[in-house]
A and B are shown apart, each in its own frame.
Chain A
Amino acid sequence: MSEPRAHPDPAFALLELYEAALPQVYGYLLPRCGNRTQAEELTSETFLAAVKAAREGGPVSTPWLIGIARHKLVDHWRRQEREQRGLRLLYEDPLNDPWDREINALQAQAVLAELAAHHRSALTLRYLDGLPVAEVAKHLDRTIHATEALLTRARTAFKRIHNGGHR
């Protein structure tokens, strides 16, 4: 005979982790979206989505929460991309030269902020988060080949703005 056991709600672990995880999640999101209001909104979405995910067996931890935050960020860029699509000129440069300038991190933030959402999203996942291309592809729901092509165009767009051009 087994005794009836009370199963603690796994979502409670989130409350315990909250104080420690909040600066990590917010610290991940803020520099990537560069906008306090947006970062707060995505932070909220992350924690509230985590309640459901924890109950479905998610391994409640800070890296896990940052994974959810990354999803929220990509979703956010996807929405933005849909909004921008109608406005954006479909102007993509062919891949040019190797580019060996030093990239200044602060300046890079400013450049990223000017990029179209799909480019910004690809560069952030690949370079700011340091994810391998296959991971980036998974997050963006694209094939590896398409992701490589997207990254190439995104780098080109980045360089153009970095060098004082327009997107």
Chain B
Amino acid sequence: MTDPFKALRLPPTPMNPDPAFAAQLRDQLEQAVLEPEQKTMTTHAETKLSTLTPYLAVTDARAAITFYVEALGAAQQGQPIIMDDGKVGHAELTFGDATIMLAEEFPELGHTAPTTSYPSYRLEVPDVDTTITRAVARGAELLRPATNTDHGKTGTILDPFGHRWLLAEATPAPKTPAPAPSHGELGYHTFQVPDAEAAKTFYGALLGWHFTPGRVENGWQIEGTGGMAGLWGGQGQTGWKLMYAVQDLNAALRTVTNQGGTAGKAETQPYGLSAECTDNQGIEFWLWQP
């Protein structure tokens, strides 16, 4: 006798799934197949976003990107996304650790450049005066010249695309009580240069350092070197001059002399005892007893 279960046999019978599902799966499949290539071909910037990111509407995105890069020191992230009609649909720029996004006008989405009132952004720059000069030379309108205020030097420009920038000197980073360096460790770096303004412009552009007024004339604290560092203009020896921590400054000064160096006088500073010295080859340094 035959096995009644044989009747259960279900030969392949094609069935069309829901077209929406079929299309969705096709997309997923394409993505899975193309995945390795996508990683190298991506045009979308992989910018690390912070909690808040302004999204600007501009009339001419290409010109705006050039302006923000050349005048305000922005860095372009990736390539802009260009729409079929040639419009810039999305671009990303970073200023220091902040990102902005921008796109050309899409009136149908309510995305239009400001024309009658202007949104404002506060931007910290290495050098307010230089930035204002560059911006004005590239078509910005000067709304308020650089002036010294309680919050450092600030000035305001209106860029050619309807956005207002409150340019400001960088605020000092909040002081985190760093552990005092141990004997022999570097305590502070001072970059001594003939012209502080020239160095601020150069290294601000090159390395993105920010400068805040220091406690001596022509002296600036540098934010962005990864350590405790300052810039000092108009000094004799140029280049980096280092400050080493010692446990006992007076004992260390005696050793400096014994080893053929020149020991300076111990002075009381807000941060501890320090003395300016020269080693046995003529290189200047400071000693610091925290």
Contact = CB atoms under 8 A, between A and B. Distances in A.
Given A15-B30, A31-B13, A47 B25 contact: yes
A147 interface: no
Contact of B28 (A22, A23, A24, A48): A48
Interface string B259-289: 0000000000000000000000000000000
Given A98-B1, A105-B7, A128-B8, A27 B14 contact: yes
B29 A48 contact: yes
Interface in B7-59: 7-10, 12-18, 21-22, 25-26, 28-30, 32-33, 36
A22 B23 CA distance: 11
B6 interface: yes
Interface in B55-106: none
The dominant DSSP class at the B interface is helix
B22 A99 contact: no
B25 A100 contact: no
Interface in A20-65: 22-24, 26-28, 30-32, 36, 39-40, 43-44, 47-48, 51
A108 B18 contact: no
A18 B33 CA distance: 12
Given A23-B14, A24-B12, A103 B5 contact: yes
Interface footprint category on A: 35 or more
Interface residues of B, number: 25
B4 interface: yes
B17 A23 contact: yes
Interface string B212-254: 0000000000000000000000000000000000000000000
Nearest to A112: B8
A57 to B, nearest CB: 16
A102 B7 contact: yes
Contact of B7 (A24, A51, A98, A108): A108
Contact of A26 (B5, B9, B17, B30): B17
Given A28-B12, A51-B32, A22 B7 contact: no
Contacts, number: 88
Interface stretch (A6-14, A79-87, A88-96, A134-142): A6-14
A26 B21 CA distance: 11
A44 B17 contact: no
Nearest to B14: A23
A128 B10 contact: yes
B25 A44 contact: yes
Residue among B14, B26, B30 with most chain A CB within 10 A: B14
A123 B8 contact: yes
A130 interface: yes
Contacts of B21: 40, 43
B28 A127 contact: no
A56 B151 CA distance: 63
A5 interface: no
Contacts of A36: 18
A98 B10 CA distance: 23
B19 to A, nearest CB: 10
B38 to A, nearest CB: 12
Contacts of A47: 25, 28-29
Interface string A128-166: 111000000000000000000000000100100000000
A117 to B, nearest CB: 17
Given A27-B15, A48-B29, A51-B32, 16 more contacts: A22-B16, A23-B17, A26-B17, A30-B17, A39-B17, A44-B28, A47-B25, A98-B1, A100-B4, A102-B7, A123-B8, A127-B5, A127-B9, A128-B9, A128-B10, A130-B9
13 contacts: A11-B33, A14-B29, A18-B29, A22-B16, A24-B14, A32-B10, A47-B28, A47-B29, A51-B32, A100-B1, A105-B7, A123-B5, A123-B8
Interface of B: 1, 4-10, 12-18, 21-22, 25-26, 28-30, 32-33, 36
Instruction: Identify the 8 closest CB pairs spanning chains A and B, nearest first.
Output: A23-B14, A27-B15, A127-B8, A128-B10, A27-B14, A103-B7, A11-B33, A26-B17
